[in-house]
Structure formats: structure tokens, C-alpha cells
Amino acid sequence: MQKFTVLFPTYYLALRLLTVIFLITCKLPAQDFQPNYDEEKVPEYTLPDVLNTLDGKTVRSKKTWERSRRPELLKLFEDHIYGQMPKSYDSISYSITNENKTSMEGKAHLKEVQIQIFNQRKSLKINLVLFIPTHITKPAPTFLLINNRSKDNTDPTRNIKSEFWPAEILIDSGYAIAAFHVDDLAPDNKEFFMNGALQLYPEQLSADNGMRAIGSWAWGASRVMDYFETDPAIDKNRIVLVGHSRGGKTSLWAAAQDQRFSICITNCSGNTGAALARRQFGERISAINTVFPYWFNTNYKKYNNNENQLPVDQHMLISLIAPRPVYATNASEDLWADPTGTFLSLKHAEPVYALYNLKSTLSANPPGINKPIVESPIAYHNREGKHNLTVYDWNNFIRFADYHFKINR
């Protein structure tokens, strides 16, 4: 049995404590940092209709969705929350910086790949860790993690093994497993976040709807996808994008923007991830924009304590991934990420999947703890425990991918 080092919970608890201290130090009103965890205090709200266009027309077909409503929603999310996503760059190159064809006792082929992107006479390097199973002969379906925690989680030497990225389990299941670190794209720091992808697109920093850190991380995921399309050992048509917490906010935005990702998984992503903002439960927009003002665009600050004025909510972001499968998760002790709001967001995305004749099997109400709903185009579980990414989560992600890729074991 694999042994994994738990690297994350201590870091997470410290971050939460620092968040509270920061908010108190700033002398913000109490409501700005004391989250609501009482369902009876959730205000009445009305969600914007995902199938009603801005000019009041009702979408009744996937053709109208794809030609009209989907582009409209993407623009709304760009302008009000995540920022513009640059579509071009001058050039890109790939180089193998380290390779071991007999990693994991011969079970995996390790490639450490440096992806270098050039634009406006500047360049950026993304360091990708990739393990490919050696026991399969066809191009491998692949999981890609947006790593927003310690780089030790994705140790290429495998001297450190973490539940956060249990590479051996994925390899044994016949999947390639890859990861990049968010700091390569935008340091997760309000003083230095611009020292990455935004150096290639400096005009974004002066735009109220310009890309910021999370947009940069999502942009980076697409550059990794560019690489996957060149590697004959990778099945470019079966790429599963995974993100946890702020990385889970990113995975949703990346998959909404880049339809090359076959499956999207968002783990414990909370507000501006998979959870509905209008519920005002747990994490809220005002807290995000105060402690992490560099994550989202300037326009998003207009919605601090003003969620009902947003022209969108997160069920619409999930809808942008249709018809591709999406899986959202929570943890029972992580009320900050609003498990109920996450489940409701998925439910409210069902009408868009129905346009593609895809029937969700989500229950009418949230399932019990450790009762995953996997065999569905829209999947969900609420795991026992804390805000983390665990082997339990990964095992269910594998089941989800097996189901949709039609892999029989």
C-alpha cells in the first residue's frame, strides 16, 4: 500500500488564521470576515436564468446555446469576474529537462518538460512534471493538476509522496498524471502576482476587465494543453483537468475557456468556484477581494456585499463546460466552500446539459457524506473530513473518468 505524506492541512489552517488576522487588522466591518454557516440565514435570492439571453430570448437548442448564449456568458464572466483571456502569443517551445524511462520501479516514464512561451519580446517558462504509464501501448488518457500548494506535492523523484497528487495510483490505473505549479504563471502574492504571464500581456494590468492571477493560471493550463497535443504518448482527446480550492476556481474557468479539456474536476472550490455566490454562505466575494485582490479583475470589486447585482452566478460557469463532464466536490468540515451551494450550482446547470440530451443523475437533494454520484455528466460528492485533496477524491475521479472514457476494469 502506498504511503503518503500529508503536506496540506497545516498550511491551510495557517492561511485561514492569517486571513482572519488580516481582516481584523484592516478594521473591516464584522460582516466582512465572519462567514454565515447557518442555512436559516441564507437570504432569499433569484438566480439569473442560464437559458435567457440578454435580449430576453429563451434558448431552446444547443445550436442557439453555442452561437448566442454561450459566447454572451463567457464575455460576462470575463468582464465582471475572471478577466480577459489572451488568445495569442508569438511562439511556444518545449524541451525535456529531465527524463527517466524506468521511474516508479519501471511502471512509469517520467518527463520534466519546460514549456516556454514568447510574446512582446518577453518569455515565460512553465515547468511540467509528467508521468506516463509504461504498461499501456496506446496514447494515455491524462490527469492534469493545477498545483496551488507545495511543490513537494508533485515531487518528480517520488521521494515525497502526497495524497494531494498520488501519482502511483493514477499510473496503476492506466492514466498519465501531470502537474504544473501556479507560481510559474503568477506568484500567489499580491505584491508579485504580475511577475509571470502578465509580463507577456502588460496591457491586462491597466484594464478593469483585465486578467489577473487566476486568469493567468487558467491561461497556463491551456499552454500545457498545447504541449499535450504534441506528445504522441498522450491522448489529447482525453485530458482531465483538476484543481483544488483556488486551483478549483481556476480549473472551472480554464475548462470554460478551453474546450480541449475533456473533463473538468473542481475540488472544494467554494465562492467564485462551484458554489453559488448569491447564497452568501461561507466564503464571500468581499472576503476574496479583500484578502486576495489580485485573483480577479478590478470590476469584481463592485460586487463586494452586492452579490445580487452580478449578471451571472456560478451555475452559469459550470454550464459553459457542457457537454463535457464536470465533477465538483466538497468536504464535510469545509463549510467555507459551501457544500449545499455547490450542489445547487450543479443542479442549476442541468438545463444546459439537457440541450445535449445528457441526463444528470444528481439526486433532488445533496447526497449524504461519502455517497458519491459518479455515473453522470454532472457529478458530485461531499467527502468526510477537511478542506483538502485526498486519495478518496482521486479514486472517485478515476471512476468518473473511467465511466466517461468507457474504460472497463
67-114 pLDDT, tens digit each = 999 999 999 999 999 999 999 999 999 999 999 999 999 999 999 999
Question: pLDDT band for position 129 (50/70/90)?
Answer: very high
* Active site residue ranges: 245, 387
The Cα 246–Cα 269 span in angstroms is 6
Tell whether the model's pLDDT for residue 409 goes beyond 90. no
Tell whether the model's pLDDT for residue 405 goes beyond 80. yes
Whether residue 274 lies inside any domain: the answer is: yes
- DSSP state letters, 252-274: HHHHHH-TT-SEEEEES--BTTT
Whether residue 298 lies inside any domain: the answer is: yes
Tell whether the model's pLDDT for residue 16 goes beyond 80. no
CATH assignment at residue 305: 3.40.50.1820
Whether residue 3 lies inside any domain: the answer is: no
Count other C-beta atoms under 10 Å from residue 342's C-beta. Answer: 30
For residues 339 and 328, the answer to whether their CB atoms sit within 8 Å is no
Number of folded domains in the chain?
1
Whether residue 1 lies inside any domain: the answer is: no
Whether residue 2 lies inside any domain: the answer is: no
Where in the sequence is the domain holding 163, given as residue range(s)? 9-405
